[in-house]
């Protein structure tokens, strides 16, 4: 009888009850629960034989092209007693080096060995040559069930990369139905190195018994073909991916017949994407989720009425609060405040006590996200506190303006930032990309905004771009837009 103390123990139980079912399908390779369990044991023993000690960090720059190998590597690190440090291979060399400097790994498993040539490591293996030594596997009952399990690199959209520490008790949250067979499946293209992909997809089979299907690299047509071929019960798409799929010229040829749920999250969901998806696939239950790497908290919509509300992410639960700038809890509907989340197993930043103290207070996590409660008790997102624009003394949230921009029939992506203004303090500026084959001028789009927004919220400066700067998780890098939009705003005022 296996004592389930860590999520790697949960995999051991599932390997007995769901032995021949597919746990991870990486398209080019699939692995059953029994195979995943055996591989994790063998590679975990190989790491221990190489000299890994409990608490050692193991660097895991592994792309989605090797989704199965990522799942093996993460659970092998757990079985060896180490701390897994996944990092996106699409980050630049400096960002990867910064994460390595922060986490000081001794060991590494990767599919981009050339990118790690400058790192000093005691051992580094490619995904097709991982160390194996079953005889050296540590006694699992000797491993600390309360130890740190992973360090996840934050997306780095606003500054230097940080490492969010996730413990084994934290990973055990939501482990259900260990003695029940499950035959569900989830199709996704999330980076398996980020919070959503790692905690949501890599852990999914061990946590809930569902098959995780991962597209090696996202492309809309390929994803639609996988929906048809794999017939998943649930499809998970970040909003930018969903929008690209909705804009694909062949999208109406795919009926999503086997799909029951369409889940989205990790970034604000444009309202018109909701309406278009519901029109295309009326039988699919659409859900919008909210969470963050630091928070370890998550909620989501549960009804059609909720998901049809722009910015809605479901009912505000007891473990979440809205607070004002003084930290006082906000109870009244319609009042914007910062979202806080309570954790039974609080997270922290690795080797950064100052940032930890600022963000994690008494079990509560300051998310940096703004929101308000509507009259139905639903939480409506209102943007990031750091992105708040103060124009002439009035607080303006970019999300409201981005929502209006997305309503324009030509706009595919939209981002709003505050730019310096010598009189107002800040002014509103926006960047957009256009849908394929549709033409619109900045003047057209600004005129559209005047019909949908109060005058002080209408962008005075708007650039039409070929592409948005994105991080590896598909989020728009607004910090890279501030410079060009500031210069465009200055040029506009000078020309006036």
H helix or E strand, kind and range, residue 479: helix 479-495
Per-residue pLDDT reduced to its tens digit, 126-151: 999 999 999 999 999 999 999 999 99
63 Rama class: left (phi>0) / alpha (psi -120 to 50) / beta: beta
* CA distances (Å), origin 236, targets 27, 51, 64, 185, 190: 16, 38, 15, 11, 8
Distance CA 351, CA 355 (A): 9
Angle at 312 between CA 300 and CA 286, to 5 degrees: 55
Question: What does the block give as tokens for 494?
Answer: 């000078």
CA distance 490 to 488: 5
Kindly state the tokens that stand for 255.
């009926």
CA distance 481 to 479: 5
**Cross-strand partners of 288:** 264
Pick the closest to residue 363 from 347, 339, 342 (CA basis). 342
Tens-of-pLDDT digits for all 496 residues of the chain? 778 999 999 999 999 999 999 999 999 999 999 999 999 999 999 999 999 999 999 999 999 999 999 999 999 999 999 999 999 998 878 888 899 999 999 999 999 999 898 899 999 999 999 999 999 999 999 999 999 999 999 854 446 788 999 999 999 987 876 655 455 999 999 999 988 899 999 999 999 999 999 999 999 999 999 999 999 999 999 888 999 899 999 999 998 999 999 999 877 788 889 999 999 999 999 999 998 777 666 789 999 999 999 889 999 988 899 999 999 999 999 999 999 999 888 889 999 999 898 888 888 999 888 999 999 999 999 888 888 898 988 888 898 899 999 999 999 999 999 999 988 889 999 999 999 999 999 999 999 999 999 999 999 999 999 999 988 777 889 999 999 999 999 999 988 7
Name the residue among 113, 109, 101 with its Cα closest to residue 82: 109
Using an 8 Å Cβ cutoff, are 96 and 61 in contact? Answer: yes
How many Å from the N-terminal Cα to the C-terminal Cα in the chain?
A: 77
Ranges of each domain in the chain: 7-373, 388-495
The three-class DSSP label of residue 421 is strand
Determine the CATH number of domain 388-495.
3.30.300.30
pLDDT, tens digit (0-9, with 9 covering 90-100), for 391-413 = 988 888 898 899 999 999 999 99
Answer whether 7-373 and 388-495 agree in fold. Answer: no
Extract the tokens encoding 86.
């996944």
7-373 in CATH: which number? 3.40.50.12780
Cβ distance 418 to 484 under 8 Å? Answer: no
Is residue 47 within a helix (H) or strand (E), and if so which, with residue range? helix 33-50
C-alpha–C-alpha distance, residues 63 and 480, integer Å:
25
Report d(CA 277, CA 282) in Å as an integer: 8
The angle at the Cα of 212, spanning 209 to 217, to the nearest 5 degrees, equals 170
Structure tokens at 397: 């949230």
């Amino acid at each position: 009888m296996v004592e389930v103390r860590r999520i790697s123990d949960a995999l051991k139980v599932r390997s007995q009850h769901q032995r021949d079912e597919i746990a991870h399908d990486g398209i080019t390779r699939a692995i059953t629960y029994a195979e995943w369990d055996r591989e994790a044991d063998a590679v975990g023993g190989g790491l221990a034989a190489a000299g890994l000690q409990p608490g050692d960090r193991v660097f895991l720059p592994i792309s989605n092209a090797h989704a199965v190998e990522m799942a093996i590597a993460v659970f092998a690190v757990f079985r060896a007693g180490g701390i897994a440090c996944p990092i996106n291979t699409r980050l630049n060399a400096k960002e990867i080096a910064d994460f390595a400097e922060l986490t000081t790994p001794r060991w590494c498993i990767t599919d981009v060995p050339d990118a790690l040539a400058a790192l000093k490591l005691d051992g580094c293996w490619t995904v097709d040559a991982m160390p194996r030594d079953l005889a050296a596997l540590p006694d699992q009952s000797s491993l600390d069930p309360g130890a740190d399990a992973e360090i996840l690199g934050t997306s780095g959209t606003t500054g230097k990369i940080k490492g969010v520490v996730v413990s084994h008790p934290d990973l055990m949250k939501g482990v259900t139905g260990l003695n029940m067979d499950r035959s569900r499946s989830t199709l996704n293209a999330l980076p398996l190195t980020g919070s959503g992909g790692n905690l949501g997809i890599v852990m999914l089979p061990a946590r809930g018994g569902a098959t995780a299907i991962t597209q090696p690299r996202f492309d809309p047509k390929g994803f639609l073909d996988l929906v048809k071929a794999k017939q998943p019960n649930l499809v998970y798409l970040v909003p930018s991916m969903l929008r690209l799929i909705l804009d694909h010229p062949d999208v109406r040829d795919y009926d999503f017949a086997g799909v029951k749920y369409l889940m989205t999250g990790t970034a604000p969901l444009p309202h018109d994407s909701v309406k278009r998806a519901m029109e295309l696939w009326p039988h699919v239950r659409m859900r919008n989720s909210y969470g963050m790497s630091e928070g370890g908290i998550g909620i989501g919509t549960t009804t059609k009425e909720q998901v049809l509300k722009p910015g809605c992410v479901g009912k505000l639960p007891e473990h979440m609060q809205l607070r004002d700038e003084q930290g006082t809890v906000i109870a009244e509907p319609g009042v914007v405040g910062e979202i806080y989340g309570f954790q039974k197993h609080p997270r922290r930043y690795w080797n950064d006590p100052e940032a930890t103290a600022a963000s994690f207070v008494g079990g509560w996590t300051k998310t940096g996200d703004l929101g308000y409660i509507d009259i139905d008790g639903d939480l409506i997102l209102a943007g990031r506190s750091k992105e708040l624009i103060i124009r002439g003394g009035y607080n303006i949230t970019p999300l409201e303006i981005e929502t209006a921009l997305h309503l324009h029939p030509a706009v595919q992506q939209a981002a709003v930032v505050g730019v310096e203004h010598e009189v107002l303090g800040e002014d509103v500026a926006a960047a957009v990309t256009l849908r394929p084959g549709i033409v619109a001028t900045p003047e057209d789009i600004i005129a559209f905004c005047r019909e949908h927004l109060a005058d002080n919220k209408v962008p005075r400066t708007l650039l039409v771009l070929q592409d948005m700067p994105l991080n590896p998780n598909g989020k728009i890098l607004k910090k890279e837009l501030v410079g060009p939009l500031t210069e465009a705003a200055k040029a506009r005022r000078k020309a006036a």
